[in-house]
Amino acid sequence: MDLDGKVALVTGGSRGIGAAICVDLAKEGADVSLTYLESEEEEAQAVVKTIEGLGKKGGKYVVEISDFDAVQGLVGKVVSEFGRLDILINNAGTNRDSVVWKMTEEQWDHVIDVDLKGTFNTIRAAAPVFKEQRAGKIVNIASINALRGRFGQANYAAAKAGMIGLTKTVAKELGRYQVNANAVAPGMIETDMIKSLPEEFRQQSLAESVLGHLGKPEDVAYLVSFLCSDRARHITGEVIKVDGGQYI
């Protein structure tokens, strides 16, 4: 999968799945820029150092992904500093779990703003660039819980389900400009985010896996790199699960 000469933007790229995606894209030849939160400066710098150690250009930007104007400016910076933009990976996400009868408005709004609105913001900013060059790859990191729901995750499941609807719509709207848009739906992946979940959730996910183990961030990254390559040029509007068989 030759991504030489391509420039990627990965939101939430400082750790977990996002960091693995950044590194794998660089291994495949892409220059990679990433967004991160100010509290993750050390982790972001480590990812950029790894990208540069692979002989590729790396860049990092502190951006609140739910801020429409800030994201518009972000895409402009990436194009200016890297010379182009070919790949957009929407990975930034958060969770504020609660059963629906206890969920606060703040918990609902925060997850929708980051996970769903943030995805819209980046696509909205990148779409004119992709249209103009008549090429582009968009990969949105959703979740199997968008397809089946999850106890205690009404906000997260709704946001990720919205992301899938957005993916399919964008695939239809941008397809004529040779832009591919797909979603990847991971199951439970061993990341820092799952540490905030009750242990019973982890054990339930482990029991659901027909392979008998949870996924690693790299398992998601490998699929993302494939979807960003010419080998996936005829794949668009799809939702591909990476879950060790949890969904089945």
Closest to 165 in 3D by CA, of 147, 186, 187, 189: 147
Task: Give Cβ neighbours of residue 139 (< 8 Å, ≥ 6 apart).
Answer: 87, 88, 89, 90, 181, 182, 183, 184, 224, 227, 228
Active-site positions read 156
- For the four alpha carbons of 120, 125, 131 and 134, in that order, the dihedral sign comes to negative
Tokens of 9: 């933007």
Strand order in the sheet with 58-62: 58-62, 31-36, 7-10, 87-90, 136-141, 179-186, 239-242
- Per the CB < 8 A criterion, the answer to whether 78 and 33 are in contact is yes
Rounded Cα–Cα distance for residues 133 and 65 (Å): 24
- CA dist 112 and 177 (Å) reads 29
